[in-house]
Amino acid sequence: MKFFTKKPKPATPKPVWKERLHTIVFDEIAASLIRSLFMEAFAIPTSSMENSLLVGDYLFVSKLHYGATTPRTPLQLPLIHQNLPGTEIPEYLSWIQLPYYRLPGFSEFKRNEEVVFHYPPEWDRPVDMKTFYVKRCVALPGDSLKIQAGEVLVNGELLAKPLHGQTSYWVQTSQTIHPRVFRRLGIDEYYRSSEGYQINAESEAAAQLAKMPFVQAVEEIIHEPGEMRSQLYPQQGSNDWTIDHYGPIYLPKAGDRIEMTPENLALYSTAIVHYENVGAELVNDKLVINGHQVEEYEFQQGYYFMVGDNRHNSLDSRFWGFVPEDHIVGKPVLVWFSYDKTASWLQKIRWSRLFTLI
């Protein structure tokens, strides 16, 4: 009987290319899910957060704290952001845009926390394709903010300065200061003039520099009202605000109804036209929604005010306005790598910053 029984055919092994393709597809799907729902890597490109976060810091950004947002642009290549590598060709198609929804998080938004968000003024890109920024959130929806002589006041109360925050100082000296002196004090930004130096530094470093025998004086630089006319947000209207004397300004929360006076229109029209998605436009200095002039507007989402820790070298909300809630990505939680390209080759890796919590 065994002679007449057909022997089972051995299973045909899958081609190697098919096995590798399945592995790549699975890995990319898993990585995309992790990036969109749990954690994403992010690099610090500018010095706007020094010395809290340094240029060359590589961070893990948690999306679980505030709640992950569902994808807005489904037609995109995984593991690439904005453009194809080495080109200006977008890696996404904006034909389909899904509605915004934020999943529940286990932490509330807090003042004075570092936040990663999408840069709002990139109006030609979908929200989730905009450039990543990281700043400190100094005011929440419903807050009133004012900056007075460099001090941030929220709802009339003084907000604590960042532990390693920087501002600019004028150093009066007739001598040349060796770069090694600045580096020892942690000062990376300094500019020479005929009468001394302008530096960006922590207050403690400025105080140490003032004690050196070749320095006559160190004075904090405060931009007085009227010195930066038309450079700050809002560009419309008339004010004499500077980066050190700013506001007062109110941050709208969802459900707020605000009268569209000329002053309020200057403050809030950018948010309403570009971030509220209600078909709004400005016509002859009037707010028009779906062809009808609006005298009062009810906000659909909350808005935040972000400022860099390097207060005099940060392009932030003082220059381009509010951050909508749907632009917020997550909370940076860990520096997993740090690289200083300006240091000597033996010191390029900042070993002391590796795997430090933020």
> What was the pLDDT predicted at 31?
56
Model confidence pTM above 0.85: yes
Q: Percentage of the chain surpassing pLDDT 70?
A: 89
More confident residue, 44 or 270: 270
Distance between CA 199 and CA 227 in Å, rounded?
19
> What was the pLDDT predicted at 237?
67
Q: Is the pLDDT at 298 greater than 90, yes or no?
A: yes
Domain contains 113: no
pLDDT band at 324 (very low <50, low <70, confident <90, very high): very high
User: Which has the closest alpha carbon to 199: 167, 222, 235?
Assistant: 167
Domain contains 132: no
Domain contains 267: yes
> What was the pLDDT predicted at 321?
95
Cα Rg of the chain (Å, integer): 26
Domain contains 339: no
Distance between CA 142 and CA 82 in Å, rounded?
33
Span of 69-73, 248-252, 260-264, 321-325 with lowest mean pLDDT: 69-73
pLDDT band at 85 (very low <50, low <70, confident <90, very high): confident
> What was the pLDDT predicted at 22?
64
Domain contains 213: no
Q: Is the pLDDT at 230 greater than 80, yes or no?
A: no
Domain contains 305: no
Amino acid at 166: Q
> What was the pLDDT predicted at 227?
82
Determine the average pLDDT of the residues in 323-334. 95
| Token digits of residue 252 | 């709208």
More confident residue, 33 or 107: 107
> What was the pLDDT predicted at 50?
82
Q: Is the pLDDT at 309 greater than 90, yes or no?
A: yes
CB 177 within 8 A of CB 197: yes
> What was the pLDDT predicted at 174?
87
Distance between CA 39 and CA 153 in Å, rounded?
33
pLDDT digits over 143-199, tens only? 999 999 999 999 999 999 998 899 999 999 988 999 999 989 989 889 998 889 999
Q: What is the dihedral angle through the alpha carbons of 181, 187, 190, 196, rounded to the nearest 10 degrees?
A: -50
Domain contains 158: no
Determine the average pLDDT of the residues in 99-112. 91
Q: What is the dihedral angle through the alpha carbons of 254, 260, 263, 267, rounded to the nearest 10 degrees?
A: 30
| Token digits of residue 286 | 């009037």
**Structural domain count of the chain:** 1
Q: State the residue range of the domain holding 286.
A: 255-300
pLDDT digits over 107-157, tens only? 889 999 999 999 999 999 999 999 999 999 999 999 999 999 999 999 999
> What was the pLDDT predicted at 188?
87
Q: Is the pLDDT at 200 greater than 60, yes or no?
A: yes
- Residue 57, judged by CB atoms within 10 A of its CB (0-12, 13-18, 19+), counts as buried
Q: Is the pLDDT at 283 greater than 70, yes or no?
A: yes
| Token digits of residue 24 | 């790549």
What average pLDDT is seen over the chain? 88
> What was the pLDDT predicted at 228?
76
Domain contains 269: yes
Q: Percentage of the chain surpassing pLDDT 90?
A: 62
User: First and final CA of the chain: distance in angstroms?
Assistant: 74
Q: Is the pLDDT at 206 greater than 90, yes or no?
A: yes
